[in-house]
Structure 1
Amino acid sequence: MTGSFPYLDNSFGAPAGSESWPLAFAHRGFSPEGYENSLAAFRAAVELGYGYVETDVRTTADDELMVFHDETLDRVTDGVGRLADYTAEQLKQVRIGGVEPIPRLEEVLAEWPDLKLNVDVKDRPGGRLLARLIEQYKAHDRVLVTSFSDRRRRAAFRGLTLPAASSGGILSLAALTGLGRVGLARAVGRAARMHAVQVPVQYGRYRVVTPAFVRRCHAAGLKVHVWTINERAEMERLLDMGVDGIMSDRADVLAQVMDERGFWPQRGKA
């Protein structure tokens, strides 16, 4: 199922003719100072050798797509209230950590033409707006569309003239987890238009990522990406298990682990 998606096969990172490398995702970029989802955080990840970053998008009151995780500004910025209540112009006055501006997704696409983005759509208008930007920047091979909501994902699909890779929402992943045990993983993946499975190691007491789960997904043509892994020992264990990607807040540690295994750097050429 992933043959037509160079994003998932890491054709930008692995040398020509070699096996596909496991992907390393800098989760919201890399910023020990806490400037998550900022241009500075993405720049730091790129300087470490990352070709893949995970990020989130939310919509302003005037339909601009901003790179931001939370519904409200309060946790990481000097602003207050819901991002959706601000215009893009008003948000120019808000600073992440009191220092970094909130970027528009368009700025990230334009700044790094070779950077691959794992984009989590956080609100209903976001799918439509993300599709518009993918079309504008011809970014079909460098954006993976994901969301906890399958409805938001599908909104992005409807606006695309060419396919883009995608990971399933909560309902799709629940169906895959249950029906995959009885041999229906491939059917679920096709029905959900899902090309990758992005999951935590476990939900509550339920352990999701096991050797059997990885085997079932691979047999169905699905890549397995695991979030959010910050401990070296767990990164090593998951790579030994055969997962296809790891997302981490500790981009420095993950880069070192990947480098030691010969999977570094993962940046393509602009």
Structure 2
Amino acid sequence: MVLTVPRRWRRRITITLAVLLVVTGGLYLRNSSTLAGPSKGERPFLLAHRGIAQTFDLAGVTADTCTARIIHPPQVPLLENTLPSLRAAFEAGADQAEIDVQVTRDGQLAVFHDATLDCRTDGHGPVGEHTQDELRKLDVGYGYTADNGTTFPLRGTGVGLLPTVPEVFAALPDRAFKLDLKRDDPADGDALATFLATLPAARLATVTVTGGDTAVAAVVRRLPQVRATSRAIIKDCLLDYAATGWTGRVPSSCHHRELPLPAHYGQWLWGWPHLFVARMRAADTRVVLVRSVGDWSAGFDTQADLTDLPDNWSGGIWTNRTDVIAPLVTPSR
């Protein structure tokens, strides 16, 4: 038996399909990055991770791995989170440098990554149990080796190079920084906010603060004008944008932020990549791509790494080797 659809229903079905086609087409056009196109001749924003840093293979790395013990053979004589490293990154073309922040026993804002001193330095114990004067006497290049401890090519080169945040800002007065609070403690956020509150408004506008949710929230409570990011901030922004981004609207939770994202997240974002970047930029939010290696974030540090970027990417790039990457992403004139 053959079923026939009444003419009035055929007409309704046709109209419904036409409406769906128009709506779908409208959504595509409104969110098509292809039609938006990339920013022509625009170089990506370069975020120098800890200045110019020694690199290492992330394969097999765990939360307890001493990464100074597994570095690649050094190509540069620089140590992360030091003034020589930061200067070199900016001279190579960095737009902003990320530095790690910890509060010392005497309330100073030390620039150092690890929770303890044993991996990279000739010191021992938690950073927060030492005064800044004690930290400054250490050799921050002491523990680096590329051959399982046979040689330590950077040993002796890092004595006295562990700076404070105010020293970094004073030495590089015209530069932009991202400050990463390493302990998720509101007291650390308050200590950083106390320093940031002394900066002129124009300098404060160049600062980004990141870290654990509670530490960053402590900074934002006192200085809501500071660009900030944390796991909670990123989650809120992306969930809200997933719900409303199809309209072209950027939710308030995404305004004045920094979004560090693995490149493969893009497939879930309305308007990815170019339209998404343009929308976020209009909301004063910076999108920075990181490489994803297992459970870890990694920098774009070699020419081969750049193949993971979307074509003509004009957002941000997270890198440990600005000296390598800047020449590769700078448009020729």
Query: Over residues 112-148 of structure 1, what are the superposed CA-to-partner deviations in whole Å (9 max), with x where a residue is unaligned?
Result: 111100111112233222222222232312211112x
Pick aligned residue for 1:60 from 104, 119, 122: 104
Paired letter, 2:199: Y
Pick aligned residue for 1:137 from 185, 188, 199: 199
CA distance in 1, matches of 2:78, 2:124: 17
Partner of 2:122 in structure 1? 78
Do residues 119 (structure 1) and 190 (structure 2) align?
no
Pick aligned residue for 2:325 from 254, 258, 261: 254
Partner of 1:93 in structure 2? 137
Query: Over residues 223-258 of structure 1, what are the superposed CA-to-partner deviations in whole Å (9 max), with x where a residue is unaligned?
Result: 211222223244365263535211101211211123
TM-score by length of 2: 0.63
Aligned to 1:97, the other structure's residue is in SS state: coil
Unpaired segments ≥5 residues, structure 1: 1-17, 202-206, 263-270
CA separation of 1:260 and 1:218: change in aligned 2, threshold 3 A: closer
Aligned to 1:129, the other structure's residue is in SS state: helix
CA distance in 2, matches of 1:88, 1:24: 30
Aligned to 1:240, the other structure's residue is in SS state: coil
Partner of 2:162 in structure 1? 102
CA separation of 1:135 and 1:236: change in aligned 2, threshold 3 A: farther
CA separation of 1:171 and 1:27: change in aligned 2, threshold 3 A: same
CA contact 1:235–1:246 (8 Å) conserved in 2: no
- Matched pairs, number: 235
Partner of 1:242 in structure 2? 313
Pick aligned residue for 1:225 from 284, 288, 291: 288
CA separation of 1:19 and 1:158: change in aligned 2, threshold 3 A: farther
Query: Over residues 6-54 of structure 1, what are the superposed CA-to-partner deviations in whole Å (9 max), with x where a residue is unaligned?
Result: xxxxxxxxxxxx9975311111011434511111211211332334111
CA distance in 1, matches of 2:324, 2:134: 36
Identity level (%): 26
CA contact 1:22–1:243 (8 Å) conserved in 2: yes
Deviation at 1:90, TM superposition (A): 1.4
Deviation at 1:179, TM superposition (A): 3.9
Once structures 1 and 2 are overlaid, which stretch shifts more, 172-181 or 54-63? 172-181
Unpaired segments ≥5 residues, structure 2: 1-39, 54-75, 143-156, 291-298
CA distance in 2, matches of 1:261, 1:130: 40
CA separation of 1:170 and 1:137: change in aligned 2, threshold 3 A: same
Deviation at 1:192, TM superposition (A): 6.9
Do residues 35 (structure 1) and 96 (structure 2) align?
no
CA separation of 1:245 and 1:216: change in aligned 2, threshold 3 A: closer
CA distance in 2, matches of 1:130, 1:261: 40
CA distance in 1, matches of 2:279, 2:109: 36
Deviation at 1:175, TM superposition (A): 3.4
Deviation at 1:169, TM superposition (A): 1.3
Do residues 209 (structure 1) and 259 (structure 2) align?
no
Partner of 1:265 in structure 2? none
Aligned to 1:229, the other structure's residue is in SS state: coil
Once structures 1 and 2 are overlaid, which stretch shifts more, 217-226 or 69-78? 217-226
CA distance in 1, matches of 2:78, 2:91: 17
Aligned to 2:330, the other structure's residue is in SS state: helix
Deviation at 1:96, TM superposition (A): 0.8
